[in-house]
Chain A
Amino acid sequence: MSTATHAHEHHGDHGHSAAHDHHGPPAGITRWLYTTNHKDIGTMYLWFACFMFFLGGTMALGIRAELFQPGLQFFDPEFFNSLTTVHGLVMIFGAIMPAFVGFANWLVPLQVGAADMAFPRMNNWSFWLLIPAALLLIGSFFVPGGAAASGWTLYPPLSIQQGIAVDFTILAIHLLGASSIMGSINIITTILNMRAPGMTLMKMPLFVWTWLITAYLLIAVMPVLAGAVTMLLTDRHFGTSFFNAAGGGDPTMFLHIFWFFGHPEVYVMILPAFGIISQIIPAFARKPLFGYASMVYATASIAILSFIVWGHHMFTVGMPAAGNLFFMYATMLIAVPTGVKVFNWISTMWKGEMTFETPMLFAIGFLCLFTIGGFSGLVLAIVPVDITLHNTYYVVAHFHYVLVSGALFAIIGGVYFWLPKWSGKMYNEGLGKLHFWLSMIGFNVLFFPQHFLGLAGMPRRIPDYALQFAEWNMWSSIGAFVFGFSQLIFLYNVITTIRSGKPAQQKQWEGADSLEWTHLPTPMPYHTFETAPVIR
């Protein structure tokens, strides 16, 4: 792909200089309320995700403060369970997913040479649906009985028995699902219908490819979650017993439906991260991405396989041996396309003229730590091992290696990578590197000991624990506070960059080769590619 975009030529009238910026943004709050501009909406998604990240992070620090020592320190057990539940929901649906949609809004039109998303007004609606959903999730803490405490998976029978907060959560999930589906429709139609002349599918940057596949995944699985929580709602209020064993229902059926959504959802949160990393590494290795076509096929393979592995989340419910074996081998199969990706990223760096600015540091951090998370996933795919480790801290360590050092590191690396283009200003490289190293150290001190705790048998979602787990929990909590507070450096760096950063260059990164770097000035005009570029 990179060689293809190197060959892009700028043909006279298709670029968009600042002088052509004849209609800039309106001033005031109406700009943000009514905007249909993909850059504005992308910015709002990213700030929303940032707010939710710090909110969910505060909950995580509450959890780790409680677990610093054995015994109950700050919270009663019910509130602790609410914290773990809402932390998960906020981070997944409020932080990681909206952040990637923010990237998609900013970058998909720019990277395919389109003026905007295909349906700008629906794009605005997709974003503003997030606000009532977030208010419902946060507001559920203040209703009688407290927030949902059944874990983010909302397993019955707990989720059937709890108070009105579960209804708040169900409504929030419906709104978030509608927002995701509309956003996905917009992304797919933009990519399939709005590409610039000559921008064939196999010339698209990897980020666009990964989002095209992710959007299909979202459209396929969000309605499944919506169906599951609708049935949960009728079980709670309308006398049905889909999942209520007391009425002849089957709680295990909820697990099957939920995880048919839930496992592809994991890839919804990691495929766009693969796309971001596939943009960053070639830029700083100053080489085209190794194996572009195989990267596309590997992404599609991962997405397809994600539909047939849901059973590995429920090995302990008592499936037939053939079912367990099928899900075990299918899960292990995902390591093949994922291995292709890791191999290609390393091969891209091989003999490259590497430099190590902050985005590249986060990309390398991603590569090392996500691979650890992938390997611990392989461990958990083995049925007898999983039966031992299920519901222990080993699982918590595994999915945080995938979703924090995977998805979140990619998001942070992506913000550092594109911030000069988005804002027209250059961030403070020293602060960026300090942020990276504190994050890297804090993250590993936080989550690596949780492998040991899980192997020793410490169950997840408990506010108190046996004395034997005390030492590693203390280290884990220290790591949590280092990691959590180091994110304030990131926030400070971004805000000071936007307010008073030094001007960035048009092509801030020498090896960056997608259209936003090669065809557009810095800072970017409010409207871009009103006349489509011609790609050769």
Chain B
Amino acid sequence: MRHEKQGMRHGVENPPVDPKRRRGAIISALALAGMALGIYLVVMMKFFVYK
């Protein structure tokens, strides 16, 4: 509700999204963010083998 009010105030209301699609989008986004974080951590593993 608060978000809707904010959206109305700024005139940026977003069109309603099908809940199934929203869930799919959130799962995809989390998986991709996890992939990015995982790659970063793999590179930073060098810290643990640092001599």
Contacts and interface: CB of A to CB of B under 8 A. Distances in A.
Interface string A521-533: 0000001001000
Given A34-B10, A188-B32, A189-B28, A230 B15 contact: no
Contacts of B14: 36, 115-116, 120
A26 B32 contact: no
Contacts of B28: 118, 185, 188-189, 192-193
Nearest to A230: B44
Interface string B24-42: 1100110011011101101
A219 B40 contact: no
Contacts of A24: 11
A227 B40 CA distance: 6
Contacts of A223: 36-37, 39-40, 43
B50 A240 contact: yes
Report the contact-size class of chain B (Cβ under 8 Å from the partner): 20 to 34
Contact of A116 (B15, B21, B44): B15
Given A26-B12, A37-B12, A527-B15, A226 B25 contact: no
Contact of B36 (A219, A230, A530): A219
A242 B46 CA distance: 8
B51 interface: yes
Interface residues of A, number: 41
A116 B15 CA distance: 8
A36 B11 CA distance: 10
B13 interface: yes
Given A219-B35, A227-B43, A231-B46, A30 B10 contact: yes
Interface in A112-136: 115-116, 118-120
B25 A224 contact: no
Contact of B12 (A34, A115, A231): A34
A147 B36 CA distance: 29
A273 interface: no
A181 B33 CA distance: 8
A23 B40 contact: no
B25 A530 contact: no
A23 B13 CA distance: 8
A291 interface: no
A488 interface: no
A330 to B, nearest CB: 21
Contact of B50 (A185, A242, A530): A242
Contacts of A185: 28-29, 32-33, 36
Contacts of A224: 39-40, 43
9 contacts: A30-B10, A36-B14, A37-B12, A115-B15, A184-B32, A226-B43, A227-B44, A240-B50, A527-B15
Interface of A: 23-26, 30-31, 34-37, 115-116, 118-120, 181, 184-186, 188-190, 192-194, 219-220, 222-224, 226-228, 230-231, 240, 242, 248, 257, 527, 530
Given A115-B17, A219-B36, 10 more contacts: A31-B10, A119-B25, A185-B29, A185-B36, A188-B28, A189-B28, A190-B25, A193-B25, A219-B39, A220-B39
